[in-house]
Structure 1
Amino acid sequence: MWRLYHFTLCPFSRKVRFALAVKGVTHELVQERPWEKRPAFTALNPAGQTPVLQRDALVLSDSTAILEHIEETLERTPLIGSTAEDRAETRRLSAWFDQKFYAEVNAPLLGERMYKRAVVRGTPDGGIIRAASRMADMHLDYIDFLLERRAWLGGGQFGLADIAAAAHLSVADYLAGLEWDGHEPAKTWYSAIKSRPTFRPLLAERLEGLPPPQHYDKLDF
């Protein structure tokens, strides 16, 4: 059986967990706190980052590499697209959320609202939080733009772009960084994602000492 080293509020871990659930890949979860830099974990991934997927001697790290491997070795429930154009768009949007959304929204929110509060017991910087929330609103505008033109983010079918976006948005939402009012296309799409049995377990988890907003796991929000 696969073993997945993850952290509850790591969006890259959530992306892999959601995708594995959609593809029906059985796996054991191991909670890892990357900032603790456990020698046994850094031996698996010298970068010291979650997620890491392990089965016997095979160790995979980096969420994109992990999901490319799963996609190439498990034919059922394809997530990247059926044409070269679809695959290119799926990869572009997955990178958008993994790189741009993470840098502009989740990294500052995690630093201020999670790491400072739950790890070092510091005082969050309100200016950084407000800036991240403004950037989140711009990303929701872009999601609205896409969904006004297509059924799912990557095109006509649910796929990895939706998985990556939902993973990152769920973390930002947990950290009270999203304002959904005025973003009906994004809100309708995310409500459909939240209703999926493969996504519900992620919404059920809580980080001790850091509860999410009341609307976080509700379908009507």
Structure 2
Amino acid sequence: MSACVLFHFPFDPGSRTARLALGEARVEWSEVLVRPWEAGCPLGELNPSGMPPVVQTTEAGKPLTLCEPAAVFGWLEDRAKTPFLLPADPGERAETRRLVTWFDRRFTDEVDAVLLHERMEKPLLRLGPPEARALREGREALRTHLAMLEALATQRDWLAGRRLSQADLVAAAHLSVLDYFGEIAWQNWPGLKTWYMKLKSRPCFRPLLSDRFQGLQPSAHYTDLDF
């Protein structure tokens, strides 16, 4: 087993963020799949919030537990000899942090908490079928966020500027889950689609394409690198 162990749920955007970051850094890791809503989930003893992702590793010979994406990003940045996923340019660093926070707050609250609750959490928790009103509201919020991201993807090489950053991995993690459930009409967002294809072509992204949600096949283009 690798000295780096990731506890994660495959369709949790935060977990996908950690997988992308570890993959981009070429850190070897083994995995423990968790279901945080179930009794006895090991996350309760690892992270006070009880949420994934959690990375267990060692640093200077001492055990180190990293709880949630910000801690994983920080650890990877600290161990890199040059700026890794935080650009050297102060403006781009600030923009990276703004976008990461945007996804952690606005996108999670307005999109994930609605669409992923209806499409993913309800089947897992056996809470009944999706509600049409909630789906409409979540999809309208998603369109608003995609319009913002489309403008950034059209104007810049990457979302925060000239180089790949934490913002791109966080965005890809969230959007990839929604894409699995067929919630993104990529033809309406050509700049963002080009950006997403660049992300999908990176080696760190490939493992995500093999994820499968019980009882539901992915959207037709989910595994296509050039769609």
TM-score, normalized by length of structure 2? 0.91
Report the equivalent of 1:174.
180
SS at the partner of 1:191?
A: helix
SS at the partner of 1:199?
A: helix
8 Å Cα contact 1:118/1:209 also seen in 2: no
Which amino acid is 2:15 matched to? S
8 Å Cα contact 1:45/1:52 also seen in 2: yes
Choose 122-131 or 74-83, whichever is displaced more. 74-83
8 Å Cα contact 2:43/2:52 also seen in 1: no
Which amino acid is 1:90 matched to? T
Cα shift readout 1:86-123 (whole Å, capped 9, x = no counterpart):
21111111111222112111221221111212331511
1:28 aligns with 2:34: no
SS at the partner of 1:55?
A: strand
Report the equivalent of 1:202.
208
Report the equivalent of 1:187.
193
Q: Could you tell me which runs of 5 or more consecutive residues in structure 2 were left unpaired when the two chains were aligned.
A: none
For 1:114 and 1:39, how far apart are their aligned partners in 2?
Answer: 19
1:97 aligns with 2:99: no
For 1:67 and 1:37, how far apart are their aligned partners in 2?
Answer: 29
Which amino acid is 2:34 matched to? E
Distance 1:17 1:77, change over 3 A: farther
Which amino acid is 1:14 matched to? R
For 1:37 and 1:90, how far apart are their aligned partners in 2?
Answer: 36
8 Å Cα contact 2:123/2:129 also seen in 1: yes
1:116 to 104, 122, 132: 122
Cα shift readout 1:115-163 (whole Å, capped 9, x = no counterpart):
2123315111121112111111111111111122211101001111111
Report the equivalent of 2:56.
54
Deviation at 1:183, TM superposition (A): 0.8
What percentage of residue pairs aligned between the two structures are identical?
41
Deviation at 1:176, TM superposition (A): 2.2
Report the equivalent of 2:148.
142
8 Å Cα contact 1:132/1:177 also seen in 2: no
Deviation at 1:186, TM superposition (A): 0.4
1:125 to 120, 131, 134: 131
Deviation at 1:77, TM superposition (A): 6.6
Choose 114-123 or 190-199, whichever is displaced more. 114-123
2:160 to 154, 162, 171: 154
Q: Could you tell me which runs of 5 or more consecutive residues in structure 1 were left unpaired when the two chains were aligned.
A: none
SS at the partner of 1:165?
A: helix
8 Å Cα contact 1:113/1:175 also seen in 2: yes
Which amino acid is 2:174 matched to? H
Which amino acid is 1:181 matched to? Q
SS at the partner of 1:78?
A: coil
Report the equivalent of 1:41.
43
Report the count of equivalent residues: 221
Choose 12-21 or 71-80, whichever is displaced more. 71-80
Deviation at 1:76, TM superposition (A): 5.7
Distance 1:207 1:89, change over 3 A: same
